[in-house]
Structures are given as structure tokens and as C-alpha cells.
Structure 1
Amino acid sequence: MRNLLMILSSLLLAFTISCSSTEKKADDGSSVDADDSVASKDLNFDPAGSDSGNIAGLSTVHFALDKSTLSSEARKQLAQNADWIKNNSNAGVIQIEGHCDSRGSVEYNLALGERRAKAVKNYLVNLGIASDRLSILSYGKEKMLDYGDTEAAHTKNRRANFVPMPK
């Protein structure tokens, strides 16, 4: 009987904890649901450069459909980016984010975005950038710049951009 009482008490405690509210106080003191506080924030996209944190001097590179190979234009941009990275050693680690357009599965696009980010990193390392100054991350199709269903929109989304990492 004593064991049954302990089990019931434990279940009651677990149930009470699992039913707790996710309500939080906003900065202004008003009540906000935790799930809504993140979803309602506007993302600061910069279509001309990085959409996660602009680094003046580093250009976003674009890719062909379903490709992770670097075009001659992308290689030119990356050579300029390499010069900037070499001349700005105080910039710390720079994250290369690989992105895709809306076509394809989530899994396929995450893998493609990773291949794109790796291609950029490998090219920069071959140009003399230390590998430990660069990190990669794939967003696949999760952070599109343009949600349109046109070829122009898809072209904007197939990219690798550069983001400063906190020191």
C-alpha cells in the first residue's frame, strides 16, 4: 500500500508539472505566450548580403539549381571575400550558411545546403584562409529570402552567405 501511495504521488507531481503554463512576461510587463514571442518577431533580412547578420565587405554567392559547384562569378566573389577575411583578422570566426530554394524535400535541401557551404569553405581554405576561422551551417529551405514561386525568387534563395560568430 505504501508503494502504491508513492507511485500515485509521483504521478500526480509529474502531471502537475507537465500542465504548467508557458506564459512569460514581456519586457513591457505584459503577458506573452512563449511560443508567440519568437514567431512574431520580424527577421532582419538583407537581400544584398547576409540575411543573418550583415558583414560589409563579404558578398553572398549564388548557385545553380540542384548544384553545389561554384560558378566563375562565385569564385571571383569568394576571392574578394578571402582578401577581406585576410585583412580583417579581428572578425573572428565567420559562419558560412548554405541555403536552397523551396523545391525538394527538407532532407534533400539540408544536405544540398551543407554541400554548398562546404564548397565555399573549401574554396576559401584553398585561397589561404585558416579552416578554424570558418564554420558551416545548412538551413536548406528554412530561411528563404523570397517566398515567391518564380525562377527569380528561386535564384535569390540558392545561396551561401556569411555571418559573424560571437566571440
Structure 2
Amino acid sequence: MTKKINGIIVLALMVTAGCSSKSAVTPDAGSAGSGSASLPSSSSPSLPLLPSSPSGYGFDQWQTGPLGDVFFDYDSATLSAEAQEQLHQNGVWMGSNARKGALIEGHCDERGTSEYNLALGDRRAISAKEYLVRFGVAPSRLETVSYGEERPFAAGSNEESWAKNRRAHFVVK
């Protein structure tokens, strides 16, 4: 019941918040209106992916589990090429671990209102989930939640910290 009410609240916030970025998130041509995001051309730098550790954990420097985080540009839920590659790696792991599920947490940096960041975090988590579903992961194995700006990974009010906080974080269930 609480999830349903939270979903309705987040949906209402998304409708009223809109998108204040210069470039809108556009549906992917291959998704036939599924609401997924595709990458517009951009010259902004991306965070590098780090190879997985020998233990199989830690696809990136922020992750301690087998599924790596994906990062987003400012005010965007669009999946970059790097984010899609990380999601591909996550999808491969999910395919090899069919009994596992994942919670996808949407996060934002501190800029913007709490309401807007909750809605943006939701769009980020849903964007990552939709990619994995298109990859072949059953939707029933994936849940999403938005924490907006409430659970930052990096403290600080600078671009380096903000870039680390604009993410979809994966928790294996």
C-alpha cells in the first residue's frame, strides 16, 4: 500500500516538476515508446569505467557488490554509452544469477528542490531498469526507489562530488 502511494506521489511530482534541462530526454527509437531514454549527442566528459576486481565484485570504485553503478549528466536521466556498457555488464551478471534480484536506487546531487530530485532520481532508476528489461532481465526481479539528494555518496559542493552523486545504485537482493 505504501509503495503504491509513494508511486502515485512520485508520479505527481514528475508531472508537475517537468524537465529544466536544455536537452530533453527522448524515447529510444528501438523501444517503441516504452519511455526509455536515449543518448543525445553531447560533448560533456564521462566518468571512466574501471574493470571488475579479481573477486568479481566492484565494477567501479564506488561499488562493493557484483552490480556496478551508472552515472548521469546534470539534470538528466539519459543513459550515456558508458552507463549502457555498465548496465550490459550488470545484465550479464543478472543472467548468470537468475535467482537474484536487484533494487535500483535513483540518486541526485544536492542542486534542485527535494521534490524535483526525488522525481529525477525516479526517472534515473526507471531508465536503468528499462535497459535491463530490454536486455532480458525479468521486470519482477527489479525494483526501483528514488532517494533524490538524501543519500549522497560524496560529500562536497563541487562538480567532482556532484558527478559521483548523480547515479543509479544497485543493491543485490
Query: What's the TM-score bracket when you normalise by the shorter of the two chains?
Result: 0.5 to 0.7
Q: Could you give the per-residue CA deviations for residues 70-109 of structure 1, whole angstroms, max 9, x where no partner exists?
A: 0011001101110000001132x21000000000000000
Give the C-alpha shift of residue 147 in structure 1. Answer: 1.9
Equivalences, count: 115
Letter in 1 for 2:62: G
1:112 aligns with 2:109: no
1:74 aligns with 2:110: no
Q: Is the 8 A contact 1:48 1:60 kept in 2?
A: no
TM-score by length of 1: 0.66
CA–CA distance in 2 between the matches of 1:48 and 1:84? 18
Paired position in structure 2 for 1:5: none
Give the C-alpha shift of residue 146 in structure 1. Answer: 1.2
Give the C-alpha shift of residue 55 in structure 1. Answer: 2.0
Runs of 4+ in 1 over 6 A off after TM superposition: none
Q: Could you give the per-residue CA deviations for residues 101-121 of structure 1, whole angstroms, max 9, x where no partner exists?
A: 000000000000000000000
Paired position in structure 2 for 1:4: none
> Which has the larger helix fraction?
1
Paired position in structure 1 for 2:103: 95
Paired position in structure 2 for 1:18: none
Structure 1 unaligned segments of length 5 or more: list them.
Answer: 1-45
Structure 2 unaligned segments of length 5 or more: list them.
Answer: 1-57
How much identity, in percent, do the aligned residues show? 47
Q: CA RMSD in A?
A: 1.5
CA–CA distance in 2 between the matches of 1:149 and 1:158? 13
TM-score by length of 2: 0.64
